[in-house]
Structure 1
Amino acid sequence: MASVTIPGTHIQTLAPVRELYFFDTQSAVLPRPVSPLNAWRILMARPRPIMNLAFKLRDAISSVFGASRIGGFSGAVPERVQVGQMLDFFLVEHASETVLTLTARDWHLDVMTCISVSGHELTITSSVKMHNALGRLYMLPVGPAHKMIVRQNLKELVRAVA
């Protein structure tokens, strides 16, 4: 599926920002440049127990309504990825030295996570398009939690790269 690049950036989203149900973009300046895939590898190296619990809870509740089980993060990230490959429950839609775009699509919502780098600055952008009321209900707790998780991940990434 096509993505939209925000003008003047490497950031990709599911649609123009005004058409998104959820949009969050956060950046951090790293002590040294890191590729998007290496940033993902550092962040996924040790999945947090609370995240695993959250994914189990998500799967238990969402599957009752017919949403696909996603299982969470395994901590395994290959040395290289290519378009069409899966990283846990995410589909790789774009992979370059400056941008890694991952999507998860289901009947209730579509999610895109874009990790982009420009020099020492790394940006994580998440965009969501809704398909129905279940998607909206799902995002009520997930939206605010997601913003806090990304903020914490960026802080951890700065420490890990130092």
Structure 2
Amino acid sequence: MPPNSFARAATARIQVLAAAAELDFLDTQSIVLPVQITPLEAWTLMHARPLPGLSLAFWLRDAVSARFGVKRIGGISGRPHREVQPGSMLDFFLVEAVSDEVLTLTVRDRHLDVMTCISSASGVLSVTSSVQTHNLFGRLYMVPVRPAHRLIVAIMLKRLRQDLARRRAAG
């Protein structure tokens, strides 16, 4: 796929909270899919095998954030999800939109709003996260989350691509 086609496919259906200039964090990472899957299938596969240390990170997040009135989220369950509807919960995320091409999830509180959009189009899967902070705690919260999020998504996408390539090779 030519570079411009990859960029167009990667951004075809991405949803974000606001214009880029209004965001405190924006990250989009994409992979070329060895086999086509829906965004919900991608979510399920990426969370089927938790990354080492991720449950500890969520525990630490909850322990620190709860002191500032932030609801505990407990982390990602890893349960397979075959179907979700707008308005339902996917772990601690509210499902805003779901289709064969887009899964949009949000978490909103008084400190920050988060939107994660998984899109799948033209053989490209993209994970885009956007954040708007509302106060000092939200900005401080993002200091460790910003680099950690980028690394976690990169590792999860790499593992997903490898798993799908093995699945394709196995027949």
TM-score by structure 2 length? 0.88
Total equivalences in the alignment: 155
- 1:55 is matched with which residue? 58
Give % identity. Answer: 57
The structure number with the bigger radius of gyration is 2
1:16 CA displacement: 1.0
Aligned with residue 78 of structure 2, among 71, 75, 78: 75
Partner of 1:3: none
Picking from 134, 137, 140, the partner of 2:140 is: 137
**Partner residue, 1:66:** 69
* Deviation digits for residues 50-76 of structure 1 (CA, Å, limit 9, x no counterpart): 110000000000000101111001111
1:99 maps to amino acid: V
Q: Do 1:77 and 1:87's aligned partners in 2 also have CA atoms closer than 8 Å? A: no
CA distance in 2, matches of 1:108, 1:117: 30
- Residue 45 of structure 2 corresponds to 42
**1:17 and 2:15 equivalent?**
no
Tell me the amino acid that sits aligned with residue 111 of structure 1.
V
Distance 2:67 2:125 in 1: 37
- TM-score, normalised with respect to structure 1: 0.93
Q: CA deviation at 1:103?
A: 0.6
- Residue 120 of structure 1 and its aligned partner are, at CA, apart by 1.3
Is residue 102 of structure 1 aligned with residue 101 of structure 2?
A: no
Matched residue type, 1:123: S
Residue 148 of structure 1 aligns to which amino acid in structure 2?
L
1:125 matched residue in structure 2: 128
Q: What are structure 2's unaligned runs of at least 5 residues?
A: 1-10, 166-171
State the match for 2:164 in structure 1.
161
